[in-house]
């Protein structure tokens, strides 16, 4: 990397960090406060992971801290295996870690969309900066990020994913990058981003094939290789999640529908009541503020793209980009509308197996906003080029630069004014600071107010806030005291008991063979060397076959783990082989792109 390019990269990272740091500053202005809403659920899981890793020196495969004890291994929202979790939660703690987690994703989204604008859409620096601000600081991320939808932060990877996807078409080595990003999304619990990205990349492939038939052979090769590597590399999460969903199906049909004027309201409403009249979800599920200026520029961008695609003598690749921008906006606008009519795509999508488990179609607005931001950036460039082409005094030609930058800065300020107050919701109790005691199931406490602290406090509950409807026993007992019992009661006594994340044990003195009941849910993947593990009214139990004083232990180990993780290891090796293979790079000459001054700039077709 040349010195100039290194400096440009550092500069872009600095701008992205400042821009996104300013947007998410409320999180860091209250260092002792935890996140609001669903952040408490994810902080609960983060703390369960920290307790397992740091206190028990175990991989967090099971959580005894909610629902009476259930698997983490098959939970589609679990983030405790993601490298981004390990880099933020473990060294910095759950409190600071979850805020750095947000900022890390926002910076990645800003940098990614900037490069997407420059390399795919061929925008100027000004327009790329503008598009990055619009998308990354939009109401979608403000509401979902502040509200604790931590798995939705993976949507910030969308631009980087598309860049890798397009690069793989020219150089198959980038198929490994596609797989790595898709698997990272799953590791971060991206049960919405992953299926959305599958649709998005599929739409891109269809548009590319329809507008540039010559790329079909390369597109098929890169798509098949990317899909194969994703399946292999992600097996360690795909298989346990699929097994959990198959054993505990949770279809969530959603008939919500949005009229076009309601979507316009979502994009332009600076304030709104918490409830959205006529809809079953609260406003955070619809808020997508970008403002009237962006909507207007987006409309002009649609006209510019249509003109470029069907009027100008653009090269096929350029026409494909114009069509992709407009088709993407239209497709995800229709998905965002949901079930407004039976002919819309959302009712059809919910007939597909995995998509039955996702709902709230208004969440598709994140990809609609991405296309809208790029189209608005395209309009900004056309405006700058038009101003620069006017037959006016030389000093007035500077308007071609000044006006786009002024619009970009004004829109950025407006986004901050509207969306930073939305983000300013880090006002909950500090997490992970309570002293740990003997494990037991609590009673008489406010679950939603306190459950984020249960793992560090080493207590559990029978109450449940989980996307998977795990089987739960109604025979568990609450309160302090022995967390193991003998049945029948006169067959012996419990001398001592304890547990870690993955093990339970009881020191028992038995007068005859008896059943040892543990105060947690049963699961088929628990085993014991002292006797068979049985399902006692959905409680975990071990039939101890001999009398006398002994320690009865049980351990949780998912039976699919060796195969799942082994397949992922094979996938990792395959990705390395593909990334290091001497595939011939196809570096086609790329069309010139406008600079911030409206002039033409040429550069090689480097993608990374």
Position 121 pLDDT exceeds 90: yes
CA-to-CA separations, 522 to 237, 239, 488, in angstroms, rounded: 22, 21, 19
Among candidate residues 70, 78, 75, the one with its CA nearest the CA of residue 524: 70
Task: Name the residue with tokens 């969306």.
Answer: 419
> Any bridge partners for residue 594, and if so which?
600
Tokens representing 74 are 């098959």
585: phi then psi, degrees, rounded to nearest 5: -70, 135
C-alpha span between 347 and 341 (Å, rounded): 8
Q: Given this model, what pLDDT does residue 396 score?
A: 65
Length of the chain: 608
Among candidate residues 602, 134, 596, 132, the one with its CA nearest the CA of residue 399: 596
Which helix or strand (DSSP H or E) is residue 507 part of?
strand 503-510
Q: Given this model, what pLDDT does residue 586 score?
A: 47
C-alpha span between 117 and 112 (Å, rounded): 9
Which helix or strand (DSSP H or E) is residue 259 part of?
none
Q: How confident is the model at residue 608 (pLDDT cuts 50, 70, 90)?
A: very low
Q: Given this model, what pLDDT does residue 238 score?
A: 96
Q: Given this model, what pLDDT does residue 74 score?
A: 94
pLDDT in tens, 169-184: 999 999 999 999 999 9
Tokens representing 227 are 């899909």
> Any bridge partners for residue 498, and if so which?
505
Position 294 pLDDT exceeds 70: yes
Which of 80-84, 257-261, 486-490, 586-590 shows the lowest per-residue confidence on average (mean pLDDT)? 586-590
Is-contact 232 570, C-beta < 8 A? yes
Percentage of residues in the chain having pLDDT higher than 90: 81
Quote the mean pLDDT of the chain. 92
The answer to pTM > 0.85 is yes
Q: Given this model, what pLDDT does residue 397 score?
A: 65
pLDDT in tens, 459-474: 999 999 888 999 999 9
Is-contact 161 47, C-beta < 8 A? no
Is-contact 67 521, C-beta < 8 A? yes
Tokens representing 259 are 């009229």
C-alpha span between 260 and 268 (Å, rounded): 13
Q: Given this model, what pLDDT does residue 392 score?
A: 67
pLDDT in tens, 569-588: 999 999 999 998 765 544 44
């Amino acid at each position: 990397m040349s010195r100039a390019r290194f400096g440009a990269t550092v500069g872009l990272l600095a701008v992205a960090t400042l821009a996104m740091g300013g947007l998410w500053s409320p999180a860091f202005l209250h260092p002792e406060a935890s996140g609001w809403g669903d952040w408490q659920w994810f902080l609960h899981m983060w703390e369960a992971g920290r307790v397992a890793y740091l206190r028990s020196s175990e991989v967090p495969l099971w959580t005894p801290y909610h629902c009476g004890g259930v698997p983490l291994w098959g939970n589609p929202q679990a983030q405790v295996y993601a490298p981004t979790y390990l880099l933020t939660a473990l060294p910095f703690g759950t409190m600071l870690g979850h805020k750095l987690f947000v900022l890390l994703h926002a910076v990645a989204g800003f940098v990614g969309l900037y490069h997407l604008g420059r390399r795919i859409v061929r925008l100027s620096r000004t327009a790329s900066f503008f598009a990055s601000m619009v998308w990354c600081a939009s109401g979608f991320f403000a509401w979902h990020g502040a509200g604790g939808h931590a798995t939705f932060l993976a949507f910030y990877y969308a631009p980087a994913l598309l860049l890798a996807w397009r690069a793989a078409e020219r150089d198959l080595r980038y198929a490994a990058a596609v797989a790595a990003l898709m698997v990272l999304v799953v590791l971060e619990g991206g049960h919405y981003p992953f299926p959305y990205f599958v649709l998005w990349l599929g739409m891109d492939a269809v548009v590319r094939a329809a507008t540039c038939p010559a790329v079909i052979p390369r597109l098929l090769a890169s798509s098949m290789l990317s899909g194969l590597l994703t399946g292999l590399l992600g097996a360690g999460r795909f298989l346990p999640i699929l097994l959990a969903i198959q054993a505990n199906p949770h279809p969530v049909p959603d008939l919500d529908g949005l009229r076009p004027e309601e979507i316009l309201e979502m994009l332009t409403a600076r304030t709104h009541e918490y409830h959205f009249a006529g809809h079953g979800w609260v406003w955070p599920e619809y808020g997508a503020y970008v403002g009237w200026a962006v909507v207007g520029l987006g409309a002009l961008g649609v006209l510019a793209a249509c003109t470029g695609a069907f009027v100008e003598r653009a090269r096929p690749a350029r026409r494909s980009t114009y069509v992709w921008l407009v088709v993407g906006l239209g497709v995800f606008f229709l998905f965002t509308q949901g079930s407004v009519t039976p002919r819309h795509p959302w009712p059809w999508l919910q007939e597909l197996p995995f998509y039955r488990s996702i709902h709230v179609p208004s969440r598709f607005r994140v990809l609609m906003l991405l296309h809208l931001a790029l189209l608005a950036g395209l309009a900004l460039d056309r405006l700058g080029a038009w101003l620069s082409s006017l037959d006016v005094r030389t000093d007035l030609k500077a308007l071609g630069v000044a006006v786009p930058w002024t619009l970009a800065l004004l829109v950025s300020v407006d986004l901050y004014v509207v969306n930073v107050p939305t983000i300013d919701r880090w006002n909950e109790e500090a997490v992970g600071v309570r002293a740990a005691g003997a494990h037991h199931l609590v009673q008489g406490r406010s679950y939603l107010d306190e459950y984020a602290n249960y793992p560090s406090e080493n207590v559990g509950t029978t109450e449940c806030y989980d996307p998977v409807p795990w089987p739960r026993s109604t025979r568990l007992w609450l309160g302090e005291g022995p967390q193991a019992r003998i049945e029948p009661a006169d067959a012996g006594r419990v001398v001592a008991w304890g547990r870690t994340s993955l093990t339970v044990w009881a020191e028992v003195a038995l007068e005859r063979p008896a059943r040892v009941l543990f105060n947690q849910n049963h699961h088929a993947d628990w085993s014991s060397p002292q006797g068979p593990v049985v399902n006692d009214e959905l409680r975990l139990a071990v039939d101890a076959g001999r009398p006398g004083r002994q320690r009865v232990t049980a351990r949780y180990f998912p039976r699919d783990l060796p195969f799942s993780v082994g397949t992922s290891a094979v996938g990792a090796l395959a990705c390395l082989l593909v990334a290091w293979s001497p595939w011939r790079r196809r570096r086609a000459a790329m069309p010139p792109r406008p600079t911030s001054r409206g002039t033409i700039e040429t550069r090689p077709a480097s993608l990374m």
